[in-house]
Homo-oligomer: A and B are copies of this chain.
Amino acid sequence: MRALVIGRFQPFHKGHVFLVENSREYELIFAIGSAYKSFSFENPFTAGERYEMIYNAMEELSVKKFFVVPVPDINRHGVYAKHLADLSPSFDVVISNNELIKEIFEREGYEVKETGLHKREEYQGKVIRERIAENKEWENLVPRSVAEFIKEIGGDERIRKLVNF
């Protein structure tokens, strides 16, 4: 069984790890949303960089079989589910806690499953980007390999520069 997980992964963090560990019965497809966005505070990393984060994290977590699909925005909620399905390997279920995702995928006949959100107050992209911007500790909120990758590409410094964009 394959399950689709949609996120922006700015960056991939331990909330995503929690989801992965609670979905071991599925082969996961990670759909990288807003794939064309990057170099802003909301979306600092390119789709390619986010692809590498996910890839590295799966290696760290010893997940063998998974898929990663960058998905550009089309700004049409009524067609988005089909747009994504067109770019992605086929899937049986969607994993999401987002009411909009639920609405537009259930309408297309997909089953949408919720996972509980884990430590949402800190395992959240926005929180992590803000901590980076404020020079607070953030490395413990993402997988080790992701923290290393972000530093390697100067991603922390990039976020500090783009805090107003």
Contacts and interface: CB of A to CB of B under 8 A. Distances in A.
Interface of A: 35-40, 46-48, 51-52, 55, 67-70, 72, 75-79, 82-83, 85-90, 99-100, 102-104, 158, 161-162, 164-165
A83 B77 CA distance: 11
B51 A69 contact: yes
Contacts of A88: 48, 51
Give how many copies assemble into the complex: 6
A76 B83 CA distance: 9
B164 A86 contact: no
Contact of A85 (B48, B83, B158): B48
A131 to B, nearest CB: 20
Contact of A37 (B39, B51, B55, B76): B76
A72 B69 contact: no
B162 A103 contact: yes
Closest 4 CB pairs of A and B: A39-B77, A82-B82, A38-B78, A78-B86
Given A158-B103, A164-B99, A86 B46 contact: yes
19 contacts: A35-B87, A36-B78, A37-B75, A38-B77, A39-B77, A39-B103, A40-B77, A40-B100, A48-B86, A48-B89, A51-B67, A51-B69, A55-B89, A67-B68, A68-B68, A69-B70, A79-B86, A102-B161, A103-B162
Contacts of A35: 87
